[in-house]
Structure 1
């Protein structure tokens, strides 16, 4: 069995490159510059690490970085037709608060900002769509110590903390 995870991310740059991941099954045609791709790679490898361990050798997991929201969705839809034997998943930013009473597909269809590309998502399995935090940047600021380590002396923790305080107030 193969599992493909189509991930929104890395924006819409002009150049496309094929990057092999350090684990089996990690390869992606990603619309992005090397810097962005290299920066996302360790995070998503760590994110799915437990999934790899659980899957064992009989299940192969492929991470597909797709660029924009609509590109991720189109790649996911294409995979549903061309890789019917695989389990295909769309992993996309929520972009706005998510009501706990709606499915991920309903959430995406309710966002006028995502029209018209998402409106045909009506008969998909709810297990095949997962939402990331409202904005991915929230994940980054959640680990201040790692940011300090990464940026070193140039990191301004107070700026982030002040910005978070203004958001809460």
Structure 2
């Protein structure tokens, strides 16, 4: 069953939470580097947990990680790491916290080389999921196959965010996700 189908079976606040993400964010291209970084942080933190848990904590993640400002996070100190480990609003996992900070540093380097994180992604597009995973593992921390796949699907680099029968599929197409270039 696809994410699209699952949402229709949810009720109440759970449905509203997932539907907002599904209808307004999932699969839509992101052109802001800080938001791309934020999505990567969210996907990394989802590992081993439900996406619903992460969606519920999104605002806390934004606050804890300086609104996902890459330069600010890249400059985090040991005091910031300790602060994050004490923040009950986020996932307090040392590996995930370290990955966010170290990945911000990597993105700063990629921005200096390519102009932006988005430009780096576009430079390497198109790739298969397996090629993307290999590339991400070479550059980033805590980026296994499922994390990379969801990050790239959710930001329009890989097809599969929405079933073709989902009404949002056509809406996403209007925003020209990069996977369309492959077809």
Select the structure that is richer in helix: 2
Is the TM-score greater than 0.5? Answer: no
Q: Which has the higher contact order (CA 8 A, sep 6+)?
A: 2
Select the structure that is richer in strand: 1
Which structure has the larger Rg over C-alpha atoms? 1
The TM-score, its normalising length taken from structure 2, stands at 0.28
